Amino acid sequence: MKHDPALIRDLTRVANLLADAAAAAILPFFRSADLSTDNKLAQGYDPVTQADLAAETAMRAILAAERPDDAVFGEEFGRTDGSSGLVWVLDPIDGTRAFVSGTPTWGVLIAVGGQRGPFIGVVDQPYTAERFIGTPDGAFLFRADQRRAIATRSARPLSEAIVFTTFPEVGSPQERAAFEAVSAGAMLTRYGMDCYAYALLAAGQIDLVIEAGLQAYDIQGPLALIHAAGGIVTDWQGGPAHEGGRVLAAANPQIHAEALALLGQSIKTYA
């Protein structure tokens, strides 16, 4: 799908403004004794902090000023309708469990697109000063005032692949068994990296990210970034993944096909 270059430039500009504002709101709380945390769940643990709320508030204020006709969907404050046909999808801190633990694998997720999904995505890690941006013009890592084009890894068999996931923290026993069918055939599996795993995939460091139980705001920023870097993101049936659920992100079509076949076989086995 072709997009107006002027629109892409403006949306990218605004996405950077959002990431800057979120970083300014979040960083004073990271590894701070003043951080307070609430639990969204009656059973289990799904934390939200004042940093989450402050960051989404700051991003929404910028959108109200810069893109008032666009819709907004954020994790903390829900949906705001728009008339332009575009929607911004915001996760102010993806990986809040990592955030409250002091681990720098959380990130700010920003996406913008239409009904078919996002075409601009940002994964921003303010503490390490790494901003990964994917647009129709390509995928880039911004760090220390330098811009570097990034791309996903070339094809290799699963036996040589690196796989990341948040299992066993997420998903059902059936979904975990399906993930383990892929993991068993991989060279290396790492756990609990949150959105940073998707950034590493886009940057050519790893081959697969496999997740379940995601929301749209968890995946849309990473999805657009990975697509721009040359990768592929689908659900576990090979369909669209921008609404969340079970997600398979892959560096290239070949490794995607191998992992997808194993996930499908395992789901049928345990159904």
SS (H, E, C) 95-125: CHHHHHHCCCCCEEEEEEEECCEEEEEEEEE
Reading the block at residue 235, the tokens are 């659900």
Reading the block at residue 154, the tokens are 């070339």
pLDDT of 43 above 80: no
Q: How far is Cα 91 from Cα 243, in angstroms, rounded to an integer?
A: 14
Q: How far is Cα 247 from Cα 119, in angstroms, rounded to an integer?
A: 17
- pLDDT at res. 130: 98
Q: How far is Cα 222 from Cα 228, in angstroms, rounded to an integer?
A: 10
Mean pLDDT confidence for 236-262: 97
Identify the residue with better confidence: 4 or 37.
Answer: 4
Domains of the chain with bracketed CATH:
5-149 (3.30.540.10), 158-270 (3.40.190.80)
Q: By the 8 A CB rule, do 219 and 199 touch? A: no
- Neighbouring-strand partners of residue 109: 91, 123
pTM given for the model: 0.94
- pLDDT at res. 145: 86
Mean pLDDT confidence for 91-110: 94
Mean predicted lDDT score pLDDT of the chain: 93
Which DSSP state fits 2?
-
Reading the block at residue 249, the tokens are 């992100």
Q: By the 8 A CB rule, do 141 and 210 touch? A: no
Q: For residue 106, what are the contacts with CB-CB under 8 A and spacing of at least 6? A: 93, 94, 95, 96, 98, 99, 125, 194, 195, 196
Q: What is the pLDDT of residues 230-239, one digit of tens each?
A: 999 999 999 9
pLDDT of 5 above 70: yes
Smallest CA-to-CA distance from 113 within 121, 105, 101 is with: 121
- pLDDT at res. 172: 87
Q: What is the pLDDT of residues 212-229, one digit of tens each?
A: 999 999 999 999 999 999
Q: Among positive and negative, which fits the CA dihedral 39, 40, 45, 51? A: negative
Q: Environment class of residue 1 by beta-carbon count within 10 Å: exposed (0-12), middle (13-18) or buried (19+)?
A: exposed
CA dist 222 to 89, 110, 138, Å? 11, 9, 14
Q: How many helices (H) and strands (E) does the chain have?
A: 7, 15
Q: What is the pLDDT of residues 133-174, one digit of tens each?
A: 999 999 999 998 899 999 999 999 999 999 999 877 778 889
Q: How far is Cα 209 from Cα 197, in angstroms, rounded to an integer?
A: 7
Q: By the 8 A CB rule, do 129 and 146 touch? A: no
